[in-house]
Chain A
Amino acid sequence: MKKLVLLAVLLVVSIMSWAVNIVFWTAPNPQQEEFWKPLVEQWNKEHPDVQIEWKTIPAAGSSEEAILTAIAAGEAPDICTNIFSGFAAQLIEEGVLVAFDKEFGKDFWDLVKAREMESVIEGWAFKGHHYVIPIYANPMLMWWRKDVLQKLGFNEPPRTYSEIYELAKKYAVPKEKYAMIVLKGRNWWDRWFDFITFYYAASNGKPYIDVEKGEAVFNNEYGKKVAEFIYTMFKNEWTAVDWGQEFALNNLKALGSLMGPWSLNWAKENYPDVYNNLWLSPPPVPDDYPEDASIKTFADTKGLVMFESCKYKKEAFEFIKWVFSNPQNDVRWIEMTKMPPARADLGTNPLFSKFMEEDPYFAAYAGQVGNAVPPALITNTIDVQEAMTTFLTEPLMYLKSTPEQALSKAVKEINNLLW
């Protein structure tokens, strides 16, 4: 009897040690967890020889921090989601990421084709290679309080800076209520969601940093218009420097703000009044922006990477392919997260038409994926955007310097960093 038990134990252990084990980390976000859980379970049931060990990125200040400490401790995952472009660039520079196109060749391009990612993936090329599979692309849009705007006589959301000034003159009362949230905060990533978004809109998607030459280029007519807009809003007290913890669109301290689609479910749960009274529109543009032209915006996009330390690259890629070549999974992704998958056929594929018709908010975001420009692929995103905060947006919000001075100072400081 004893021998039999020992034999059985040995057998189990040896089978388990034979099975390929792939460590897979995803974003610590309840909606995304709900998406991954059944998928991983299904894969593990169907592939007893390749087991996915799925975990959310451990709790830390940020996912980047958790991943870095894991790498330092030799505990890096094999594949990981929730990687933003700048972090990917840092990891690529250090040579720890697998270039999918080099490693898997045709298999990779087949997947790109199957998921309709040909156009989306262009923005993710780093020195001619592809290290990241984009999962979703979140365009930034303006949320406006429809009910209040209608009361003020607006039949549609303000489109240009002047229209916002007009709204401000009607609504804003200093220290009490303001027209819109112009700047989002002082974290480095906030610049994506204010200045860079405004700049993309004003310039029709022109880069703010010339990555090839390594220099900041936003000190041009578009940058000036955006800086002038921000300055005007603060100077007239049509916007505030901070808003407290409550969402300003709820207590009506502000009527509009740039928001990403990830806030939709959050607003639905916490601020139903806001959620039920929204107009979504592209970011504001300068007055002389062509009437009929489409307006570009910023894309907050996250992707999946594979680490060089992964022992079973082929098997891991099989799993990636299994997930992303099936459009049904992207259907479930939308259901769970309300974030547009990074694919170009959202408007044309009948699988997604359900969401486009049923949920006007999702449709508004999904419709902008084509207009959404990802951030500059540079390795020192944090330093650059911290400098943007200190030398551009803060001087403007505290009225410490003129828009021209702030712009040229910021560009100079950023060029020092890039150089």
Chain B
Amino acid sequence: MTKPNKLKFKEALIGWQFSGIYLIYAAIFWGYPFVWLLILAFSRWKFFGKPKPAGFDNFIRLFQDPIFWRIFWNTINFMVYFIPMVVLGSFLFALALSKIKYFRTFFTLSFLVANVSSGVAYSILFSNLFSETGPVNSFLYKVFGFTIPWFSDPQLALLSIAIIVTWKFIGYYGLILFAGIQAIPKSLYEAAELDGASKWIQFWKITVPLVNPALTTVLVFAINLTFGIFTEPYMITGGGPMRRTLTFLLHIYTTAFQRMNPSYAAALAIITGALSYGCVILVRKLVEREVNLI
């Protein structure tokens, strides 16, 4: 009777040893900051002394803050630009990738380079290239007689940043969709062909429905990304013009470390997290379908 018990204990011990490292790591680098975040959000604290409880004050203030609503609309606006662009772009990239026979790795890597480049580095590069007095605008003005205020027009600046972020993520999302497309059994297309379905019909009736898991993944990633934009507006526009490129993260950062109000920033961070989680759930409800590939 004792033997199996001993074995169980031993197994459990090994299990704990393996997971223990992760659990300790999570407790220190995830659990502790999370608890601290909750404490901060419901208190008043400015880096000195002990946090004073403040109930829901930070949250109430948040919904009355015009800057919060400005950022909220900026984020929605950004999604309207970014998500169609990046989904369409990476879909086309994935389709092209599945059609070509040679140099596939080369093309994949070329697109992935954008994804692994330093955000700070390419932000400086883009802000130089597309500045009001930069080479692109000088060229446009000399040849066509007009310039495009990429980063200085309130509406266009947001679109420009959406384009940069799209450029960065097309390769990565494209690869996810490519894997999804590759997983669709070839026999389905062959069967469709025998039944006389055109390529167009095959695309809509086979590829699009069956790539759904990959597409959902990409959409979830893209939404999370929208709520986490920081480097590009921080480096290029500083949140301007007219606060039109101000993002949640940028505002959280300046509120905590420049305005010296970490407790308000914590409330902001919680609301940002909740909003992004809500959007993800919504998208999954709307888009996700169960797919069985046998």
Contacts and interface: CB of A to CB of B under 8 A. Distances in A.
Query: Do A and B form a real pair?
Result: yes
Interface of A: 61-62, 64-65, 68-69, 71-72, 90, 94-96, 175-176, 185-188, 240-246, 248, 253, 380, 382-383, 389-390, 394-395, 397-398, 400
Interface in B144-187: 147, 149, 151-154
Given A68-B47, A382-B259, A242 B131 contact: yes
Ranked 9 nearest A-B pairs via Cβ: A186-B240, A244-B131, A65-B257, A186-B238, A175-B141, A241-B152, A72-B47, A94-B48, A242-B131
B138 interface: yes
B31 interface: no
Interface in B240-258: 240-243, 253-254, 257-258
B19 interface: no
Contacts of B257: 61-62, 64-65, 68-69
Interface string B108-150: 0000000000000000100110011110011001000001010
B241 to A, nearest CB: 5
B237 interface: yes
Interface string B203-232: 000000000000000000000000000000
A68 B265 CA distance: 15
A305 to B, nearest CB: 14
A394 B133 contact: no
Given A176-B138, A394-B241, A398-B242, A244 B133 contact: yes
21 contacts: A68-B260, A71-B47, A71-B48, A72-B48, A72-B262, A175-B132, A175-B141, A175-B147, A186-B237, A187-B238, A240-B133, A241-B149, A242-B132, A242-B152, A243-B131, A244-B133, A246-B128, A394-B241, A395-B242, A397-B152, A398-B241
Nearest to A93: B46
Interface string B10-49: 0000000000000000000000000000000000001110
A369 to B, nearest CB: 28
B254 A394 contact: no
A245 B47 contact: no
A96 B242 contact: no
Contacts of A246: 128
A71 B49 CA distance: 10
Given A175-B133, A241-B132, A244-B133, 18 more contacts: A62-B257, A62-B258, A64-B257, A71-B48, A72-B262, A94-B47, A96-B48, A186-B240, A187-B238, A240-B133, A242-B133, A242-B151, A244-B131, A380-B259, A382-B258, A390-B240, A394-B242, A400-B242
A94 B46 CA distance: 8
Contacts, number: 85
Contacts of A188: 258
Contacts of A176: 138, 141
Contacts of A61: 253, 257
B258 A65 contact: yes
Contacts of B124: 245
Nearest to A243: B133
Interface in B54-96: none
A410 to B, nearest CB: 13
Looking at chain B's contact residues, the main secondary structure is loop
Contacts of B48: 71-72, 94-96
Contacts of A397: 152
Contacts of A394: 240-242
Contacts of A390: 240, 242-243
B242 to A, nearest CB: 5
A407 B278 CA distance: 40
Contact of B260 (A90, A240, A241, A245): A90
A90 B46 CA distance: 10
Contacts of B147: 175
Nearest to A254: B133
**Residue picked from B137, B141, B259, most chain A C-beta under 10 Å:** B259
B228 to A, nearest CB: 17
A245 B127 contact: yes
Contacts of B241: 186, 394, 398
A186 B133 contact: no
Nearest to A68: B47
Contacts of A240: 132-133
B19 to A, nearest CB: 30
A148 B46 CA distance: 51
Given A242-B133, A244-B131, A185 B259 contact: no
A187 B238 CA distance: 7
A398 B258 contact: no
A416 to B, nearest CB: 10
Nearest to B134: A244
Contacts of A400: 242
Nearest to A61: B257
A68 B254 CA distance: 13
Contacts of B253: 61
Nearest to A400: B242
Nearest to A416: B66
B133 A185 contact: no
Given A68-B257, A398-B152, A175 B137 contact: yes
